[in-house]
Structure 1
Amino acid sequence: MAIEDLTSRIAELGHSLDSIEAVADLALLRTEIADLEEQVAAPNLWDDQDNAQRVTSQLSAKQSEVDRLVGLRSRLEDAEVMLELAAEEDDVDAREEVSRELVKLGKDIAALEVRTLLSGEYDPRDALITIRAEAGGVDAADFAEMLMRMYLRWADRHGYAHEIYDTSYAEEAGLKSATFAIKAPFAYGTLSVEQGTHRLVRISPFDNQGRRQTSFAGVEVLPVTEETDHIDIPENEIRVDVFRSSGPGGQSVNTTDSAVRITHLPTGIVVSCQNEKSQLQNKAAALRVLQSRLLEKARQDREKEMSALKGDGGNSWGAQMRSYVMNPYQMVKDLRTEHEVGNPDSVFDGDIDGFIDAGIRWRKQAEKA
C-alpha cells in the first residue's frame, strides 16, 4: 500500500477513535475510577460483601475500558511514527509492517465502535441471563449447559464478574434451566442481542445408534434492576415455597430446605434460586430476578402499546437466531445477520464477540428501518 494510502487510513482510524473516546468520556471514566479506588481502599469495604463485589467489579471493568482506549490510541500513534520513518528511509518492510498493524487496528477499533451504538434505556446495566432446554430431550439439556459455559467463558475472557443464581439439572445430563448475572458496564446492551432460540445439530453422544440430532435452547436476557427502578412487590402478591437444592453443591446446599421458589400471583411469573447456602440469601436473589422480569414485562407492555399506536404489529427479531452445526459440516451461523464462522469449538469456548458485534449493528439498522 502506498504511503499516501496508509496516511489516509491512519487519519480515518484516528477520527473513529476520536468519536469512541467522546462517547466513552475518558475524563469521566477516570473520575469514576478514582472514586471507586477510594471505596476499594476503605477498611470496612468487605463488611457488605454484595456492595464490595459490585464496587470491585465496576472498578475492574472501567479500568479495562480505559486501558483498552489508551492502548488503541498508543498503537495508532506508534503506527504513525513508524510510517514517517518508513517514508524518510524508503523502508518497504517497515511500510508493510505498518500496513499489517493498521489492519489489526481497524478490526479492534471497529469492535469497540459497536459500544457507541448502545443507547437504550437499560443498555448500561448488568445482564441477567436465563437459559432453558427446549425441544430435543437430553441433547437439549446438554446444549443448554454448553450455552451457559459459552457465556461464562465469554465473561472470563473479558474479565467480567458473574454470579450464578439457579441451576436446575436434568436427570441424565445437562440443565433444564439456569439463571446467572454478568456484571459489567453495558452487559445488558451487549448481550441483549443473544436473546432468542439457539439450535444445535450434531451426532448425539446420547444415542447409541449414532444418529444426528437437532435440539433447541432458549436464551432470555434481562437488565438487572437498580434501586432507582422502584418496583414494589407487595407480600400478598407473591407465594414463597422452599425446597431442597438439587445437583452439585456440597456442604449445606443440598442438605437443608434452603432453595426458594417465588410465584408472582398477578402475572404467574415463577423464579427460583438455590445456589446460596441460606434460605434468606436465596430469597433475596430470587426477588432480584423477579424484579428484573417485572421490569422487562413493563418495558414490553410499553413497546406493545407503542406498536399498537404505530400499527406495525410489533416485531419478532428475537426468535430464531443462531444455528450451531457440528455434523455433517462445522459451522455456526447467525440467521439474522448472516455472520458465520467455521469453528464451533471456539464459539462454545466463548469466542462470540463477532456474533455480538454483528447483532448490535444489525439491530441498529433494523431500528432505523
Structure 2
Amino acid sequence: MSELQRTLLEEIREKFEPIRGIFDTPLKRKRVLEIESESNTDIHFWNDRKKSSALLKEKKSIEDGISSCESLLKKFEDILVAIEFGEEGDELSVKEADDCIEELSKEVQILETRRLLSGETDKNSAIITINAGAGGTEACDWAMMIMRMILRFADRKGFKAEVVDELEGDGAGIKNATITIDGDYVYGLFKSENGVHRLVRISPYDSNARRHTSFCSVFVSPVIDDDINIDVKDSDLKVDTYRAGGAGGQHVNRTDSAVRMTHMPTGIIVQSQQQRSQIQNRETCIKLLKAKLYELELSKRQAESKVIEDAKMDNAFGSQIRSYVLHPYKLVKDVRTLAQSSDPNAVLDGDIEDFCIEYLRQIAAGQFKGKGGSGEDLE
C-alpha cells in the first residue's frame, strides 16, 4: 500500500465516521421499526394521508442513509482486499485500489452533502426566478448567462428543468425568466444561488471595448408539496389570460392559453405561457404562487429573530453574493463564503457544486467568513 493510498484512505475514514454517526445509529434503526409497526398495526394509519405520507418519507430517508453507510463500509473492505493483493505485486489490483479510493471519496462527499441538506424544505424541488439588473442589453445578456449556468448545473445533477416563463431582452438575452427544477434535494442545493450575481468583463456590445459591470438577481423558492398547507382562495385571485408570445406553433399563438395570476392580498403576480393548454398553465401558476407565498411567510417568521435576520442579509435582493471577473483577470469569488475559482468558463458552464457545498457547510457551522455586499475586494 503506497503512502499516498494510506493518506487518502485515512482522510476518507475521518470524513466518514462522523457522517456514519448521523445516518446509522441504533435510534435510527429503532425508529424504522416503530414506523413499520405503526403502519402494520394501526387500522387508521392509511386514512390520514398527510400523516402516513410524512412517516413513510421519514422511513425511506432513514433507510437510504443506513443503506449508504453499509455500502461504504463494504467498499472499505473491498479496498483493503485489493491493497493486500497489490502489495504482493499484482499491478491490476493496485489500480483497482486507486479506483475504489476515488469512488469511495465521491460517495462520502454525496453522503456529507445529504447531511448538510437537513432543512425543512431542502428535499423539495425548486422554482428559480432570474431578473436582469439595470444596464440594458449588457444586463440582459448576463441574465441569460446565469440562466444557462443554472440549467447546465441542473443537467449535471440529473434534475429535470423547464423554463415556464421568459421575457426576451430588447437586443439580446432576457429581462427575466422563471425556471422549475424537479428532483430530490434541488432546493437545498440551489438556495446558495439566491441573491445578486455580479459580472465584470469587456462588453461585447461596446464598440470601444470598455470594461462593464452588470448585475443579475436570482430568487430561489422551494416547491410546496401537499404536506405543507398553503391556502389559496379563489376569491383572492385575479386571473388574466392572453396569447403566448414567441415560438410555440399555431395552437399556442392563436389561443389565449397563457395565464397571469395576481394574488390580491399580497400583490404577488405569477404567469406561465409555456404549456399548450390554459389549464396546464393555470396549474403551473398555482404552483408558482404557493412557492412565493411560502417564501413570504418564511421571511416574516425570520424577521422576528434578529440572529436569523442578520444571516438573511446575505441573501436579500440587492446584496451581492458572488462576483464573476473576466477582465482584467479571471476569477469567480463568493463574497459570503470566500470560496473561489480561477476558471470562470467552467463555472458559467454549470460547475458550481463546490460553491453550493461550501455555502451549506458554513450555514451548518452557523456563520459565514465573508460579509457579502459590495465586493470591493475584487475591484
Structure-2-length-normalised TM-score:
0.76
Measure how far apart 1:235 and its partner are.
2.2
Corresponding residue for residue 172 of structure 1: 171
Do structure 1's residue 22 and structure 2's residue 24 form an aligned pair? yes
Question: What is the CA deviation profile of residues 206-265 of structure 1, one whole-angstrom value per residue up to 9, with x for unaligned ones?
Answer: 222222211111111101011232222222222112222223333422333221111111
- 1:316 maps onto 2:318 in alignment: no
Q: Which moved more, 1:198-207 or 1:248-257?
A: 248-257
Cα deviation, residue 314, structure 1 = 6.5
**Shift in Å, 1:6:** 6.2
Shift of the alpha carbon at 1:179? Answer: 0.9
Tell me: CA distance 1:178–1:99, structure 2 relative to 1, closer, same or farther (3 Å).
Answer: same
Distance 1:147 1:90 in 2: 51
The answer as to whether partners of 1:144 and 1:175 remain within 8 angstroms in 2 is: yes
User: Aligned with 2:166: secondary structure?
Assistant: strand
CA distance in 2, matches of 1:233, 1:190: 28
Contact 1:14–1:76 under 8 Å retained in 2: no
8 Å CA contact retained: 1:169, 1:246: no
- The offset of 1:312, in angstroms, is 6.5
Q: Which residue of 2 aligns with 1:327?
A: 327
Distance 1:368 1:322 in 2: 13
Match of 1:302 in 2: 301
Structure 2 Cα separation of the partners of residues 123 and 76 of structure 1 = 29
Is the CA contact (8 Å cut-off) linking 1:169 and 1:247 kept in structure 2? no
Where 1:228 maps in the other structure, the secondary structure is coil
The CA RMSD measured in Å over matched residues stands at 3.6
Residue type at the aligned position of 1:146: M
Displacement of 1:329 in angstroms is 1.4
Per the normalisation by structure 1, the TM-score is 0.78
2:303 and 2:309 in contact (8 A); partners too:
no
Note closer, same or farther for the CA distance 1:242–1:21 as it changes in structure 2 (3 Å cut): same
Q: CA deviation at 1:15?
A: 2.4
CA positional deviation for 1:358: 0.8
1:194 paired residue number: 193
SS in 2 for 1:262: strand
Equivalent position of 2:14 in the other structure: 12
8 Å CA contact 1:131, 1:218 repeated in 2: yes
Structure 2 Cα separation of the partners of residues 156 and 331 of structure 1:
24
Distance 1:3 1:268, change over 3 A: closer
Q: 1:136 to 1:66 in 2, by over 3 A?
A: farther
8 A Cα contact 2:152 2:349, kept in partner = yes
Deviation at 1:101, TM superposition (A): 6.2
Partner residue, 2:348: 348
Aligned residue pairs total 333
**Is the CA contact 2:302–2:309 (under 8 Å) kept in the aligned structure 1?**
no
SS in 1 for 2:281: helix
* CA offsets 1:246-301 (integer angstroms, 9 cap, x no match): 23333422333221111111111111111111222112211110111001111111
Q: Deviations over 1:152-180 (max 9, x none)?
A: 11111121112222111112111111111
1-structure distance, mates of 2:308, 2:18? 37
For 1:1-369, list aligned pairs within 5 A.
Answer: 1=3, 8-9=10-11, 11-12=13-14, 14-15=16-17, 18-19=20-21, 22=24, 76-87=76-87, 89=88, 98=97, 102=101, 105-106=104-105, 109-307=108-306, 315-318=312-315, 319-366=319-366
Q: Aligned pair in 2 of structure 1 residues 232, 22: CA closer, same or farther (>3 Å)?
A: same
- Give the letter for the 2:264 counterpart: L
Q: Is the 1:321–1:336 Cα contact (8 Å) retained in structure 2?
A: yes
Q: Aligned with 2:279: secondary structure?
A: helix
Map Cα deviations across residues 18-50 of structure 1 (whole Å, 9 max, x no partner). 347539x8998xxxxxxxxxxxxxxxxxxxxxx
For 1:330, give the aligned amino acid: K
CA shift, 1:199, in A, is 0.7
Say which SS state the counterpart of residue 24 (structure 2) adopts.
helix
Q: How far 1:82 sits from its partner (Å)?
A: 2.5
Q: Distance in 2 between matches of 1:156 and 1:134?
A: 26
